[in-house]
Amino acid sequence: VLTVYPNPADARMSMRLAEAPMKPVFWRMSDQSGREVKVGRIERGIKEVTIDTQNLPAGMYIIQIFNDEDSWVPKKVIIQH
pLDDT at 32: 94
Q: What is the structure's pLDDT at 35?
A: 97
* Tens of pLDDT, residues 29-69: 999 999 999 999 999 999 999 999 999 999 999 999 988 77
For range 6-13, the mean pLDDT: 96
Q: Residue 10 has what pLDDT? A: 96
Longest CA–CA separation in the chain, Å: 36
Q: Is the dihedral of CA 79, 18, 42, 63 positive or negative?
A: negative
Q: What is the pTM of this model?
A: 0.89
